[in-house]
Amino acid sequence: MSTPEEEREQQDVERAESVQTTATGRDTKEVDDGARWREAFTRAVSGGWVVSLGALILAVLAGSIMIAGTDEAVQEAFGYFFSRPGDTFSAAGAAVGNAYAALFRGAVWDFRADSFAMAIRPALNSLNFATPLMAAGLGVALAFRAGLFNIGGQGQMLMAAVGAGWIGFALDMPWPIHMLVAMVVGISFGALWAGIAGLLKAYTGAHEVIVTIMLNWIAFYLLSFLLATPGLLQAPGSANPKTAAMRDSAIMPDLLGPRYNIHLGFVFALLAVVLVWWILQRSRLGFHFRAVGLNPHAARVAGIDVERSTVYVMLVAGALVGLAGTTQVLGTVTTGFSYDIDAGIGFDAITVALLGRSAPFGVLGAAILFGAFKAGGSVMQAAEGVPIEIVLVVQSLIVLFIAAPPLVRAVFRLPQPGARRKPRREKKEAAA
C-alpha cells in the first residue's frame, strides 16, 4: 500500500499529464483548423475560375492601354509629358472611363435614357447576342469534357441553317408546328455534320481538328453552291445570293414584344444549359463522356465503349451548335440569310467554352459577357470613336491569358496547382 504522500504525488502527476494532454490537444486542433483553412484558401485561389477572372482583368487592362493610346487628347498631352505629366494621366483616365461607360450603356444599362423601357434595352440586346453563343459554346465545351476539340462550329451552324431555313421558307404549316419542325431539322443537320467527324475519329483515328476544319470549308462552299443555284436555296429574283424570308409560322416570337430585341431562342438556349448540366452530372451518358475525356484507356478497361461514346458526344455537340444556327435563321435573321449567317459565332464559341472552363453555367456567364462586348462595342465606337477592333483584341487576349495559366498566376502571385504552402516554422528555419 502506498503512503498518503505517494498518493498525492501520483495525483499531481496525473493532473499535470491531463493539463498537458488538454493543451496539446487544443494546440493540435488549432493547427489542424489553421491548416484546413490554408488548404481551402489555396484551392480557391488556384482554381480555374480565378485564372479566368485574372485573364479577363489582364485583357481589360491591356484594352485600356490601347484605348488611351488611340485617343487624340492623350496623344496631344503626351507631347509635353515631361513638363506636365498630370495632363497625360488625366486625359488617359478620361478616355478609358468614357469608353467603358459607353460600353456599359450599350451593353447593360443606358443611364441616359428617358424611360425604364429604353434603359433596359441594352441588356436585352446583350442577351440576344449571347443566345447563339450559349448554344454553340455548350457544343464546344461538351466535346472538351470528352477530350475532343470540336472547332467545326462554323460548318455545323451553316448546315443547321440550311436545314432549318429550307423548312422555314419552303413549307407551309401552322405555328408552332412549323417552328418546331424547322428546329428539329436544323438541330439534326448540325448533329449529323458533327457526327461525320465523330465517326472518322472513332473508327479511323482521323484527328477531329483536321476533319472539322475541312468540314467547315465543305459546308461553306456547299451553302454557296445552294445559294448560287436557282431552284435550290436562292430566292427568286434576288440580285445577291440569299434565301427567301422565313414564313411567319416558322419564326420564333419575341419574348417581350417587337420593341425589344430578344426572341424565344433565348429560352431554348437556357434549357440547353440545364440539359447539358444534367447530362454531365446526373446521367450515365455524361459519366461515360467524362471518363473518356479523363483517360480513354482506363475507360475502355472499365467496360466503356470509347468509340461509341466518341460518336455520341460529337452528335450531341453538333446538335447544340445546330441549335445556335437554328436560332439565327428563325429568330435573328428572318428576312433571308446568306453564307455569312454564322457571323463568326462558331469560332467565338471556342473562346466562350475556354472562358467558361467547359462548365455549362460557366459557358452561360461567358456567353453573356461576350454578348455584352458585341452589344456595347458599337456604342463605344459611335459615342467615343474607339475602334471596335479593340473589343476583338480584348477577346483575343482573354484566350491568350487563359491558355497560359502560369502567367496569370505569376502576375497575381497566386499559388500554382499542387503547391504546398510552407508552415511559418519552416519559413523561419529556411530564412535562418
Could you report the per-residue pLDDT of 245-288, keeping only the tens digit for each?
Answer: 999 999 999 988 878 889 999 999 999 999 999 999 999 999 99
Structural domain boundaries enclosing 27? 1-45
In total, how many domains does the chain have? 2
Placement of cell 484527328 in the chain: 207
Mark whether 298 and 186 lie in a shared domain.
Answer: yes
Q: Omega into 176 within 30° of 0, i.e. cis? A: yes
Look at residue 317 in the predicted model and tell me its pLDDT: 96
Mark whether 35 and 123 lie in a shared domain.
Answer: no
Residue 54 placed within a domain: no
Residue 74 placed within a domain: no
**Mind giving me the DSSP string for 180-194?**
HHHHHHHHHHHHHHH
Q: Which of 10, 29, 45 is the last residue of a domain?
A: 45
Rounded Cα–Cα distance for residues 61 and 299 (Å) = 43
Look at residue 71 in the predicted model and tell me its pLDDT: 86
Look at residue 423 in the predicted model and tell me its pLDDT: 55
Residue 315 placed within a domain: yes
Mark whether 133 and 41 lie in a shared domain.
Answer: no
Residue 52 placed within a domain: no
Placement of cell 450599350 in the chain: 106
Residue 394 placed within a domain: no
Rounded Cα–Cα distance for residues 133 and 370 (Å) = 8
User: Quick one: which of 41, 62, 38, 44 has its CA closest to 411?
Assistant: 62
Mark whether 138 and 25 lie in a shared domain.
Answer: no
Residue 80 placed within a domain: no
Mark whether 158 and 294 lie in a shared domain.
Answer: yes
- Show pLDDT as tens, one digit a residue, over the chain (432 residues): 555 555 555 555 555 455 444 444 444 444 455 555 445 444 444 456 778 788 888 888 988 899 898 888 999 998 888 989 899 999 999 989 998 898 899 889 888 888 888 899 999 999 999 999 999 999 999 999 999 999 999 999 999 999 999 999 999 899 999 999 999 999 999 999 999 999 999 999 899 999 999 999 999 999 999 998 887 888 877 667 889 999 999 999 998 887 888 999 999 999 999 999 999 999 999 999 999 998 999 999 999 999 999 999 999 999 999 999 999 999 999 999 998 898 889 989 998 998 888 899 999 999 999 999 889 888 888 877 778 788 888 878 887 887 777 778 888 887 766 555 555 555 555 555
Mark whether 145 and 39 lie in a shared domain.
Answer: no
Q: Which of 343, 365, 385 is the last residue of a domain?
A: 385
Answer for the pair 311, 188: CB distance below 8 angstroms, yes or no.
Answer: no
Cell readout for 406 is 502560369
Rounded Cα–Cα distance for residues 208 and 144 (Å) = 12
Rounded Cα–Cα distance for residues 377 and 392 (Å) = 9
Q: What is the CA radius of gyration of the chain?
A: 29
Look at residue 267 in the predicted model and tell me its pLDDT: 95
Helix/strand/coil percent split, the chain, to 5: 75, 0, 25
Residue 201 placed within a domain: yes
Answer for the pair 387, 377: CB distance below 8 angstroms, yes or no.
Answer: no
Angle between helices 177-204 and 306-327 (to 10 degrees): 150
Residue 393 placed within a domain: no
Mark whether 26 and 136 lie in a shared domain.
Answer: no
> Please, which residues have CB within 8 angstroms of residue 56's CB and are 6 or more apart in sequence?
355, 369, 398
Q: Which of 345, 366, 385 is the last residue of a domain?
A: 385
Placement of cell 429604353 in the chain: 118
Mark whether 145 and 37 lie in a shared domain.
Answer: no
Mark whether 274 and 378 lie in a shared domain.
Answer: yes
Cell readout for 289 is 463522356
pLDDT tens column, 391-418: 888 878 887 887 777 778 888 887 766 5
Mark whether 241 and 378 lie in a shared domain.
Answer: yes
Angle between helices 153-170 and 306-327 (to 10 degrees): 50
Look at residue 44 in the predicted model and tell me its pLDDT: 40
Whole-prediction pTM value? Answer: 0.82
> Please, which residues have CB within 8 angstroms of residue 142's CB and are 6 or more apart in sequence?
150, 276, 279, 280, 289, 313, 316, 317, 320, 358
pLDDT tens column, 226-248: 998 887 888 877 667 889 999 99
Q: How far is CA 343 from CA 44, 332, 370, in A?
A: 37, 11, 14
Look at residue 345 in the predicted model and tell me its pLDDT: 92
Look at residue 241 in the predicted model and tell me its pLDDT: 84
Mark whether 280 and 364 lie in a shared domain.
Answer: yes
- Point out which residues pair with 240 in neighbouring strands: none
Whichever domain contains 298, its CATH number is 1.10.3470
